[in-house]
Amino acid sequence: MQVQTTALPGVLLLQPQVFQDERGFFVESFNQRRFAQATGVDVPFVQDNHSRSRRGVLRGLHYQLPPHAQGKLVRVVRGRVWDVVVDLRRTSPTFGQWLGLALDAEQHQQLWIPPGLAHGFLTLSAEADCLYKTTAYYDPACERGIAWNDADLAIAWPAVEGGYQLSAKDDRQPALARAALPDGAWQS
């Protein structure tokens, strides 16, 4: 597994080894020991999520507050998305900065997002299936969001034919400046 650091501390782009042959491919999509060795992150994952989205669907930007803050290991098994994370860790040198990158089913990349970042994605292909593991259970009471189009963040979402489609909830998320953030640690 190859590990690439990113502009946001702790956010890692992982490239697992893909075994191609005449039948198709094989990949270890998750191996706890290999993941811990490669990233230095040794955390239990407790929930696996799967969402399907049509082109133009934009989900996000989502996070959960402590004590249910989530680390997420994200991959795409069908189609292509543009994935975005925003650093919400007040003590981070990159607080308030965002990172966007493409994830797709062909390349099998995975994005490790530690607790303390908001996450979202835009579907670029006709359909996309996104799978992600989380380090804490879903907790609606701790669920929070930030506006995808917050002018201060100025996220450069790619243009998509037909425009963006959001949930009613994501249509009215607050700007980062008005978002509920903990002062202290994000780790659960």
Residues carrying an active site annotation: 62, 132
Q: Which residues bind ligand TDO (CB under 6 A)?
A: 49, 51, 59-60, 62, 72, 119-121, 138, 167
Least gap, CB of 7 to ligand TDO (angstroms) = 19
Determine which helix (DSSP H) or strand (DSSP E) holds 119, and give its type and residue range.
strand 117-123
Q: Which residues of 143-165 are buried (b: 16+ CB within 10 A; e: fewer)?
A: ebbbbbbbeebebeeeebeeebb
Count of residues in the chain: 188
Least gap, CB of 127 to ligand TDO (angstroms) = 14
Q: Which residue is nearest to ligand TDO (CB)?
A: 138
Secondary structure of residue 143 in the 3-state scheme: strand
- Which tokens hold the place of 29? 């999509």
Query: By C-beta, is 31 or 167 nearer to ligand TDO?
Result: 167
Name the β-bridge partners of 165: 57
Least gap, CB of 157 to ligand TDO (angstroms) = 13
> Is the CB of residue 162 less than 8 Å from the CB of residue 55?
yes
Torsion from C-alpha of 15, 19, 20, 21, nearest 10 degrees: 180
Query: By C-beta, is 34 or 100 nearer to ligand TDO?
Result: 100
Least gap, CB of 2 to ligand TDO (angstroms) = 24
Query: By C-beta, is 23 or 168 nearer to ligand TDO?
Result: 168
SS (H, E, C) 70-82: CCEEEEEEECEEE
Closest CA to 11 of 79, 107, 150, 109: 109
Query: By C-beta, is 16 or 53 nearer to ligand TDO?
Result: 53
